[in-house]
Structure 1
Amino acid sequence: MAEIKQVLMPDIGDSQDVPIIEVMVKAGDKVKAEQSLLTLETDKATMDVPAPFDGVVKNVSVKVGDKVSEGTLILLMESSATETSATVSPTTTPAPEKDAENSGASQSVAAPAAPATPAVAPPTGLPSNHTGKAHASPSIRHFARELGVDLTRVKSSGEKGRITKNDVQSFVKTSLAKPQEGTVGGGLQVSAMPIVDFSKFGVIETKPLSRIKKLSGANLHRNWLSIPHITQHDEADITEMEVFRKELGEEYSKQGIKITPLVFLLKAVVTAMHQYPNFNSSLDASGENLVLKKYFHIGVAVDTPDGLMVPVLRDVDQKGIVQLAKELGEISVKAREKKLPATAMQGGCFTISSLGGIGGTAFTPIINAPEVAILGVSKASVKPVFKEGEFEPRLILPLSLSYDHRVIDGAEAVRFTSYLGSVLSDVRRLVL
């Protein structure tokens, strides 16, 4: 038959009026024998007072800050046992020395033994061992070990900087929520950047990032960490293409249409994507299936005063050089004037990032997920090329293709850039 029994403060040696620094249960809680009820702290030790039997807490008679001695009523518990009261010996932990207490450190010597296998699997990304330097009771250390939590990373809220059970639980909840809020790689933990007071070294100015850079920065960081990038560098001889481009440019300049090398790249990339369809695909959410697209929408990175934007030109395979040049000019102006709707930057199959108008010889562009590849273009330069027994000057365009190695292997990437180079070197192939 269940009965209400008193749980009294056990023998704590010569100590009197020992302060309670943590109460771990409340009325209505179900507790098991040896489960910690509260923690005390003397001048030399911290002590956990465990439950003497299984039961349900009916009333807690003490609170944090109260001082107790042997025989003090701790709480009332409902149990089927026959004893009218019960006491058990507390487990102890040496109290921190004065300098250790100020730094929030203590060392456990009599904590309950950790199970060989954690009762709860450690949360992804959390260390499975802790250093034992956190200011916590033996029961909290045991609880943290079961969850695989490093107590030195847990922010304390208890008396004198002591870590409580709620602190550990909050830490776990926060850590598990991080992957859902945007961390990558299934919860990959990245060390925080160091906090530096740069003003110590000289005059500084703080300028907030633009909204575009904040948004694109988060996406770029995610893509760089979650996609296994490989970059293939190659070259294309665009000597004849450039001659034709200039002739076409003169012809359409009166209509206000600017024919740039980028429009030829758009058509050449689509031609290569027809030949190598894996470049026009995406992994599905499970990562186990490849979605092959039958449309050809190409994103073009546009440099604006507020940061990089990637508007998408749709159905590039169905449009000619002049029409693409006109659309590219219009969409670039809208991007720089912040007049692009969000839909204009969605649905891309492949992205081209051209720095040819600025300079550079090669770079490693970051894939614009969920696409599987991106082409970087640097500044073309005249180089001597040995042809038919002699050197002649040729205009050479550097290409940098970054690809998702989960979808595309190195051999396929080289074939893609080689084919792309052959198309750019002979623009007649664009009509094939």
Structure 2
Amino acid sequence: MAATKEAKVPDIGDFDGVPVIEVLVQVGDTVAKDQGLVTLESDKATMEVPAPFAGTVREIKVKVGDEIGEGVVVALIAAEGAADVSTPAVDATASQAPAAETKAAAEAQAERGESNAQPKAPPVASRPSDPKTPPVAFDADELLPEKVPYASPAVRLFARELGVDLRQVKGSARSGRIVREDVQNFVKQALAGGGAAPAAAAGGGGGGLNLLAWPKVDFSKFGEVETQPLSRIKKLSGANLARNWAMIPHVTQFDQADISDLEELRKTLNKENEKAGIKLTMLAFLLKASAALLKKYPEFNASLDASGETLTLKKYFHIGFAADTPNGLVVPVVRDVDRKGVIELAQETATLAKKARDGKLTSADMSGGCFSISSLGGIGG
């Protein structure tokens, strides 16, 4: 028989009294070495207590809401490939005596007319009580332990970054555990319109990637307030920016370049074209530079299709630029940037910017862009 060993909380740093927020296994489950048994959540991090060895879970010693620390036993596990030293073999002759006594007692009981009485059940190992949700400020129905998805903290973080509700994701690993690939497949299916997210209409947005509802707060109880309706542009911008932030990978890169010669050229060209009313800004040069880079690195001038299976490489170079208007930020698109000179680009951007400020941009003026530029040069950025 396999030896039953204790699985304890390892060294978790300077934390004590850390609450258990999730029990990841059940009695009878077979666990692998380093597989998570319970999840703890401190003020700074969420961590799993791993199984120190492979085996079968015999007993769970903690429940959701318990506060535990280093060295606390969380489970008893029958370790694989080890003899059970905790339960010594019982001598056959010793076991016969209690059996005989039990038989004699039963016969005596029958003579007293008590044969229908059941013998007292032997004591059983204590089991953890039903999980209870610790006090929280949210709707308890959303956070009951039996409804908490079975996934590691890393997978939970990945899902949160994508705006995915793990309760709608079906786990493919052992015991229904959700792994990273399950989240990725869920997103692909949602983008392809596969109906994987039945609650999409509830306002989550982003192709079925649902977020928690924003809490409704009565700000007037704190002081005087004023309510202003949002313009249509701002309403649309909010939803689309939230979706794009969740679904598009973000990279931030800072670099410096000496543009002294370029600035001298810009000033010279402005003097030469002053009578024609043409004013060159740095935006025209940024457009040309972006088109050159997109030609050199075509994968940046591409889009991933909804199924996530193919990449569409674009052979045209239409670039958008951010234009501030009284009603919100818009992005008009300059077409075929690679075929135009900086003078022509300066004229076209000026025309589009004026149309944006006047509210006269058409749908065609803002569609088809491959790349976007947000230049803060106009405000000294």
Relative to the length of structure 1, the TM-score reads 0.42
- With structure 2 as the length reference, what TM-score do the two structures score? 0.48
Q: 1 or 2, which has the higher strand percentage? A: 1
Higher relative contact order (CA 8 A, sep 6+): 1
